């Protein structure tokens, strides 16, 4: 059984003026997601700026999220690292914290071979009972999980169950479904192709958009699963300009600004991320107004 089906929000981490995690605002954001039909929360991923938090902060954020959600929906913890040993440590800590699964990105910068990736994921999986979703995002990491590698891991390692496919290639997704004969949980890692990935047998999305439009992102998946493909596609199309605006600068710069526009938290980012360019912020604001998320 899949860890979740539908819309999983890649949740932001709000910071205060001293760049510490703002747990008061974080709790309110978590509750907003649960109350607006989000199907799972993915904490400490790319959108959560995990790469700028130290281990203590990382684990504390996972623990807080698990406790705040309190079993209302699944919590998947981002626990990847370019060090296999560190990824094992973070995954075990997430398991101790009560997470329902782990999202583990491919090792970045090291540029492992496919053999090295198999060894990396297999070693982590042997040291946890959590179900693991691999995160394939070559545009950030410089390394790509090939479809044959993914198929091998899903077949040979019981608790490796799926992949967040952020390759941006539907041909890759289709080939992956072929190579695994559908025996895999695929989540779109790109908000602009949620419905196309669902059409290939995907289980849902791990979404940036869901931070600001949780109910409609949930509905995009739910309508598809209910057989209402036209309604699902209409939601995909409705949000295309906003999705493009959310990625006109590197994630999570725009979505943090969007959360600020909606009053959830200041758009504070940890270095080396920087404030959104004014012209891009205006584009984002206009796109949010067009779909009714904020007023002029």
Q: 5, 121, 135, 203: which one is catalytic?
A: 135
| DSSP assignment string, the chain | --S--EEEEE----B-TTSSB-HHHHHHHHHHHHHTT--EEEESSTTTTGGGS-HHHHHHHHHHHHHHHTTSS-EEEE---SSHHHHHHHHHHHHHHT-SEEEEEPPTTT---HHHHHHHHHHHHHT--S-EEEEE-HHHHS----HHHHHHHHHH-TTEEEEEE-S--HHHHHHHHHHHTT-SEEEES-GGGHHHHHHTT--EEEESGGGT-HHHHHHHHHHHHTT-HHHHHHHHHHTHHHHHHHTSSSTTHHHHHHHHHTTSS-----TT--PPPHHHHHHHHHHHHHTTSS--
Q: 164, 203, 256, 257: which one is catalytic?
A: 164
**Is 224 assigned a catalytic role?**
no
**Is 164 assigned a catalytic role?**
yes
Q: Which residues are catalytic?
A: 135, 164
């Amino acid at each position: 059984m899949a860890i979740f089906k539908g819309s999983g929000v890649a949740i932001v981490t709000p910071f205060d003026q001293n760049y510490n995690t703002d747990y008061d605002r974080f709790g309110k954001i978590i509750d907003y997601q649960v109350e607006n039909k989000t199907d799972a929360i993915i904490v400490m991923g790319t959108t959560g700026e995990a790469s700028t938090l130290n281990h203590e902060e990382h684990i504390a954020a996972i623990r807080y999220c698990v406790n705040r959600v309190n079993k209302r929906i699944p919590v998947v913890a981002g626990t990847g690292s370019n060090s296999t040993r560190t990824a094992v440590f973070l995954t075990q800590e997430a398991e101790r914290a009560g997470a329902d699964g782990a999202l583990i990105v491919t090792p970045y910068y090291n540029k492992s071979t496919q053999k090295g990736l198999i060894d990396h994921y297999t070693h982590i999986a042997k040291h946890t009972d959590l179900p693991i979703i691999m995160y394939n995002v070559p545009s950030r990491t410089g390394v790509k999980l090939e479809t044959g590698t993914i198929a091998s891991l899903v077949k040979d390692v019981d608790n490796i169950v799926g992949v967040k496919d952020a390759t941006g290639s539907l041909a890759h997704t289709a080939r992956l479904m072929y190579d695994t004969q559908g025996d895999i949980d695929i989540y779109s890692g790109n908000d602009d192709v949620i419905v196309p990935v669902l059409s290939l047998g995907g289980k849902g999305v791990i979404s940036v958009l869901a931070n600001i439009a949780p109910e409609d992102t949930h509905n995009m998946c739910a309508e598809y699963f209910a057989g209402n493909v036209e309604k699902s596609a209409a939601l995909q199309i409705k949000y295309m300009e906003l999705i493009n605006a959310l990625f006109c600068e590197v994630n999570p710069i725009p979505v943090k600004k969007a959360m600020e526009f909606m009053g959830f938290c200041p758009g504070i980012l940890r270095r080396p991320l920087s404030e959104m360019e004014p012209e891009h912020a205006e584009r984002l604001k206009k796109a949010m107004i067009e779909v009714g998320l904020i007023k002029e």
